[in-house]
Amino acid sequence: MTRKVLIIGGVAGGASAAARLRRLDESAEIIMFERGEHISFANCGLPYYVGGIIPERDSLLVQTPRAMQRRFNIDVRTFSEVVRIIPAEKKIRVRNLLDDSTYEENYDYLVLSPGATPFKPPVPGIDLPNVFTVRNIPDSDQIKNWVSAERAATAVVVGGGFVGLEMAENLIHAGLKVALVEAGDQVMMPLDREMANIVHRYLRRRGIALYLSERMVSCEGEGRVKEVKLAGGGVLPADLVILGTGVLPEAELARDAGLTVGPTRGIAVNEYLQTSDPFIYAVGDAIQVQNFVSGMETMIPLAGPANKQGRIVADNICGRPSKYEGTLGTAIAKIFDMAVATTGLNEKTLKKMEQRYEVSYTHPAPYATYYPGGSFMSIKLIFDPENGKILGAQIVGYEGVDKRIDVLAACIRKGLNVFDLQELELAYAPPFSSAKDPVNMAGYVAGNIINGDVDIVHWHQIDELKSQGAIIVDVRTRHEHLEGAIPGAVNIPVDSLRDRMSELPRDSQIVLCCRVGMRAYYAYRILKQHGYTRAKNLSGGYLTYDPAVNG
């Protein structure tokens, strides 16, 4: 029996489902409906096309309707908007946007891949012609054309998420002066605040004016935006405004059809990606998913999971039972030369969950320190203090960030712990890594904490400890100490510690600090074995403390 499958929406999830369906079933009748012109394009590449890093528009087209039809024998109908689903009759109603005609199409199975739509804050002037969202190729065309035709010099980007930051960078590349407005107190909400502060410093160095804990309250101008007014009273010049204020799942079609929509406003699906109607599946940015670590329902709009979901749906339709086991939320962004990556849960989420956790910070080089060039990365590892199970990780750096976050994401997916990180055998040569890879080092540091080989404190505890009389001992060199240190810290270099130990009272609480935590760990081991029972190490050292406290 020939099965008929209708797919609403393309891009990652829908196109993936269609191609997989054809590979599994040559006889199936497959029809794709897309209300726009393009069925499969690289929406993650849109900012880089605006900035000229991707010079050719056609490079963004993953699959054209004609190519999809020829290779996979799929009936692709662009400029076709599905306006209603009738589950009881297993039909959909379609409007042809070219001639405004409507017709109905029946199905055996229906796949929903409508994606998400950019959120537009309800403020005056938001609909003026030079206020743009970044969802599809026509959006990027409009931005690029406006910048060129209007000789734009200033831009305001609203929202400090992945899209907002990528657009800010690429507008700088295009020669504009850029201000970024973020309602929260940090950019990139998957990061915890101290990690985001590293990004803040870098953005300012690269010429982006940051307005944190600020809201846009209006777009001012006659016929076009000229200025953006902020809640705090500031006014920013703007030849164009980019909205990177997040997305909302396009679930209206499903809701109107009586399908269950979850508390996140996404379409509810089971582990097989079926909606509340077993003949209707849903994938991509429109669905509510389970967080792989916490098991909580959430929205995680990422291309990788959407592609996997499309494949799983095709398997299930073709009688190959396949489950979607949740989304980990692994993501990375390039901001100029900097890479920012996250996976799993962050500390903010774990606090809300009231789940126990511990944190370690390391600042390793991406490859052998004696090899020319290179820089340091900052790794935050979050784990269960009892069994060492890895709960999440965040990395901010330049080279090698992608490799390390991917290793950590794979470890979380497989339920590994920090001691397993120590045992990983990872590729080593001086241009690529160290004999102890940064992932190994993160495992060793976290393992030392669990095993009791070091007692740590964190950056946010320093002021309270000082108020209780704790002595902060900076074990770096005098030159390093003079370049910047925790206020009130005593400087005793680690190599002089044994000779100057008498300067430290044994009954006082002593917090040891160095640049990244390693020399302070050596100092901790010295003091501990000489009877200093109240010694502690500042996790991550001054490289964690300084941006976390001083912004």
Other beta carbons within 10 Å of 345: 26
- Tell me the one-letter amino acid at 247: V
How buried is 544 (Cβ within 10 angstroms: 0-12 exposed, 13-18 middle, 19+ buried)?
buried
Q: How many CA atoms lie within 13 A of 498 on its CB side?
A: 5
Count of CB atoms situated within 10 Å of the CB of 106: 12
User: Strands 154-158 and 247-249: what pairing?
Assistant: unpaired
Using CB atoms within 10 A of its CB, is residue 260 exposed (0-12), middle (13-18) or buried (19+)?
middle
SS3 string, 165-227, reads HHHHHHHHHCCCEEEEEECCCCCCCCCCHHHHHHHHHHHHHCCCEEEECCCEEEEECCCCCCE
Sheet holding 297-298, edge to edge: 267-268, 287-290, 297-298
DSSP 231: T
Token reading at 368? 């052998």
485: which 2 tokens?
Answer: 């240190």
Strand, helix or coil for residue 367 = coil
SS3 330: coil
Hunting for tokens 């059809």 — which residue is that?
Answer: 257
Size of the chain in residues? 551
Taking alpha carbons only, the member of 94, 87, 92 closest to residue 106 is 92
Pairing of strands 29-34, 4-8: parallel
DSSP result, 401-460? HHHHHHHHHHHHHTT-BHHHHHH------TTT--SS-HHHHHHHHHHHHHHTS--EE-GG
Name the DSSP class of 470: P
- Quickly count: other Cβ atoms within 10 Å of residue 508's Cβ: 12
Q: Which one is catalytic: 44, 219, 411, 514?
A: 44
Cα atoms in the Cβ-side hemisphere of radius 13 Å centred on 197: 13
* Residue 343, both tokens: 């996976």
Per the annotation, the verdict on 513 as an active-site residue is no
In 3D space, the residue among 30, 224, 217 whose CA is nearest the CA of residue 110 turns out to be 30
d(CA 182, CA 51): 21
Catalytic residue list: 44
